[in-house]
Amino acid sequence: MDSNLNFGVDPSKRILVTGGAGFLGSHLCEKLLGLGHEVLCVDNFFTGRKENIAHLLGHPRFELVRHDVCLPLYVEVDQIYNLACPASPAYYQRDPIQTTKVSVLGAMNMLGLAKRVGARVLQASTSEIYGDPRVHPQTEDYTGNVNPIGLRACYDEGKRCAESLMFDYHRQHGVEIRVIRIFNTYGPRMASGDGRVISNFIVQALAGVPLTIYGDGSQTRSFCYVDDLLDGMVRLMDASPGVTGPVNMGNPAEITVFELARRIIEMTGSRSRIDRHPLPADDPCRRKPDITVAGKLLGWQPHIPLDEGLQKTIAYFRSTLAQRSDAPAPVLETTA
């Protein structure tokens, strides 16, 4: 076991998860409960969904609080996972000013809380801070190729500022921080109309409507199944003091958007065709994480191959869409 991991300590902690009713947050709440922790789930349900955490409401170590992280929160906790923020273009471009506020004010409020109570805080950052990268694969020391005034800037720049705040609070106040840069992650509980490429392709394929590709489909993405991502996230939070990050986490297996569409059509048995539309502004052409740091510091690497993860995700959408026969086909806003 890597010396940076402290899994021998008492695992019973009170842990705050902001954005805990979202796709990643709800899975994280489940995982932390399974590890024996008390979990305080905070969400304002702007993009989070109550059905994601409904099965946890009766758990004796789970508590739900409806709260906007743009406002201060006064609780006693040992650790804070700050996941609160719309994470897909369809959502974060709906109210870009609020998106920036959530990233910046939310980080400030969680850091203020961590400072007051002596908690460790993990910031869920993103591969989007690299912009449309000129370095491939992306390493943590790459500072990015970003557009600070584009349509995606509310999210990209908000997350970049949140990282700055994390390290300033660490340097100035000694707050224990962890920064994870999350690459494309997928799995059950993704929202059907959130603008992410895997969920949209699956929903479109199951509905028998055309799969929408932007550009010629040659742009690449790397997809990490949610269980692998959460394992890395918890490893980073529980690493020895001094392991601040940033740490890339994602699956470095790269695939073109066109090949992903073709594979999902095949796996769903769909007769959908593929339609092409103009590429949105600032959409990255290539995206692939270099996860060397995560391997060295945390002993982490993803294990679930894309086809296995897609099978689980397709099964989830088959089930949920069968219960919502009136669910409309989503409008794909990006290839994120």
**Residue pLDDT, tens place only, 102-158:** 999 999 999 999 999 999 999 999 999 998 889 999 999 999 999 999 988 999 999
**Contact between 94 and 108 (Cβ < 8 Å):** no
**CA atoms of 111 and 310, how far apart (whole Å):** 36
Question: Structure pTM?
Answer: 0.90
Task: Give the strand pairing for 185-186 and 247-249.
Answer: unpaired
Full pLDDT tens readout for the chain, 336 residues: 343 444 444 568 999 999 999 999 999 999 999 999 999 999 999 999 999 999 999 999 999 999 999 999 999 999 999 999 988 777 788 889 999 999 999 999 999 999 999 999 999 999 999 988 899 999 999 999 999 999 889 999 999 999 999 999 999 999 999 999 999 999 999 998 877 899 999 999 999 999 999 888 888 899 999 999 999 999 999 998 889 999 999 999 999 999 999 999 999 999 999 999 887 766 677 889 999 999 999 999 999 999 999 999 999 999 988 776 444 444 444 445
Distance of CA 322 to the CA centre of its chain: 26
Could you count the other beta carbons within 10 Å of the beta carbon of residue 54? Answer: 12
Burial classification of residue 329, based on how many CB atoms lie within 10 Å of its CB (0-12 exposed, 13-18 middle, 19 or more buried): middle
At position 57, the amino acid (one-letter code) is: L
Write out the two tokens for 97: 């000013």
Our separate counts of H helices and E strands in the chain read: 10, 13
Residues with Cβ within 8 Å of residue 25, at least 6 apart in sequence: 17, 18, 19, 41, 43, 48, 52, 81, 83, 84
The three-point CA angle 75-81-82 to 5° equals 90
In which order are the strands placed within the sheet that holds 14-18? 62-66, 38-43, 14-18, 79-82, 120-126, 177-182, 247-249
**Contact between 87 and 156 (Cβ < 8 Å):** no
Could you count the other beta carbons within 10 Å of the beta carbon of residue 216? Answer: 11
| Predicted pLDDT at 241 | 87
Q: Is 15 helix (H, G, I), strand (E, B) or coil?
A: strand
Q: What architecture is domain 14-186+225-249?
A: 3-Layer(aba) Sandwich (3.40)
Phi then psi for residue 184, to 5 deg, are: -45, 125
Boundaries of every domain in the chain? 14-186+225-249
**CA atoms of 180 and 25, how far apart (whole Å):** 14
- Residue linked to tokens 């007769």: 271
**CA atoms of 82 and 123, how far apart (whole Å):** 5
Task: Based on the residue annotation, tell me whether 155 is a catalytic residue of this protein.
Answer: yes
Rg of the chain over Cα atoms, rounded to whole angstroms, equals: 19
| Predicted pLDDT at 87 | 81
Q: Is 152 helix (H, G, I), strand (E, B) or coil?
A: coil
Write out the two tokens for 254: 């790269």
CA dihedral over 288, 157, 152, 281, signed as positive or negative: negative
| Predicted pLDDT at 201 | 96
DSSP assigned state of 218: -
| Predicted pLDDT at 328 | 43
| Predicted pLDDT at 331 | 44
Determine which one of 155, 169, 214, 225 is catalytic.
155
DSSP string, 41-99: EEE--SS--HHHHGGGTT-TTEEEEE--TTS------SEEEE--S--SHHHHTTSHHHH
Distance of CA 236 to the CA centre of its chain: 15
